[in-house]
Amino acid sequence: MRALLLAAGLGTRLRPLTLTTPKCLVPIHATPLLDIWLDHLFAAGIERVLINTHWLADTVRSHVAASPWRDRVDLVHEDELLGTAGTVLANRDWLGDRPFLLAHADNLTDFDVAEFLRRHAGRPPACVMSMLAFRTDMPQSCGILDLDGDGVVRSFHEKVANPPGNLANAAVYVCEPEVTAFIAGLGKAFVDFSTEVIPTFVGRILAVETGGYHRDIGSLESLAAAEREFPADRARVRR
């Protein structure tokens, strides 16, 4: 399976750090987030990874060129941001006509990739997407899930004031080609995955809760929390 890592964000809430460091290269215990992601995905058998770039793209490009995984990583630049689903559409040929993993590279996570793929393979017949889920201590800032007895998403509450729980969308997905076809059918270049794609597929998304660590490194406060909470030895990667 191939994976698309979304890494083009500006990281405005992480300034001044992201004025000189791309969001995907923000370090956790001195290891860039992107390195943690690549090590984690390739260790689980992902074949190839595509990374989109925008802000400080040359820095990301140089980092990947020096990486031990460089022969298995492709880069695509966006002069203008396309949105999380617009990037999927723009790279439809690279993804091919098969399932793919989609993830936000600004999350710090150690979820079981192989188990996630296995659960997707055994998903209920109607489901065309699997979504990693986690328990959050900040439900108002997340997309909160309501599931049926089979673990299928029956409602999705994106950043609402009084969410009905704390099981959240972890922004890691396995998508069948039908999802990409739907994005293409919208007929526009900029598409947001959370607001324009997920609501359409409610009732056809399997949620898989991770028992591991997961945190959005979207602010200086969350970065500091990750440094406190995430063990340094788990941030080390193979070289």
pLDDT category, 66, cuts 50, 70, 90? very high
pLDDT category, 21, cuts 50, 70, 90? confident
Task: Report the C-alpha gap between 78 and 9 in whole angstroms.
Answer: 11
Q: Is the pLDDT of residue 221 over 90?
A: no
Q: Where are the domains of the chain?
A: 2-124+171-189+213-234
Please state whether beta strands 205-209 and 129-135 pair in parallel, antiparallel, or not at all (unpaired). Answer: parallel
pTM of the model as a whole: 0.92
Task: Report the C-alpha gap between 127 and 196 in whole angstroms.
Answer: 17
Q: In sequence order, which ranges of the chain are alpha helices (DSSP H)?
A: 33-43, 57-65, 84-90, 92-95, 113-121, 177-185, 220-229, 232-235
191 φ/ψ angles, rounded to the nearest 5 degrees: -140, 135
* Contact indicator for 209, 134 with CB cutoff of 8 Å: yes
Mean of pLDDT values over 53-59: 91
Q: Is the pLDDT of residue 238 over 70?
A: no
Task: Report the C-alpha gap between 169 and 159 in whole angstroms.
Answer: 11
* Structure confidence by residue, pLDDT tens digits, 119-163: 999 999 999 999 999 998 777 777 889 899 999 999 888 877 777
Lookup: tokens for 18: 């992201």
Instruction: State residue 118's pLDDT score.
Output: 96
Cβ-proximal residues to 35 (8 Å cutoff; 6+ apart), any chain: 67, 237
Task: Report the C-alpha gap between 97 and 202 in whole angstroms.
Answer: 22
Task: Report the C-alpha gap between 17 and 199 in whole angstroms.
Answer: 34
CATH number of 2-124+171-189+213-234: 3.90.550.10
Q: Is the pLDDT of residue 218 over 70?
A: yes
CB atoms within 10 A of CB 111: 23
* Structure confidence by residue, pLDDT tens digits, 74-105: 999 999 999 999 999 999 999 999 999 999 99
Task: Report the C-alpha gap between 120 and 151 in whole angstroms.
Answer: 12
Instruction: State residue 226's pLDDT score.
Output: 81
Instruction: State residue 38's pLDDT score.
Output: 95
Nearest to 121 by CA among 113, 189, 183, 68: 113
How distant, in Å, are the alpha carbons of 19, 69, 235 from that of 239? 28, 9, 13
Instruction: State residue 179's pLDDT score.
Output: 97
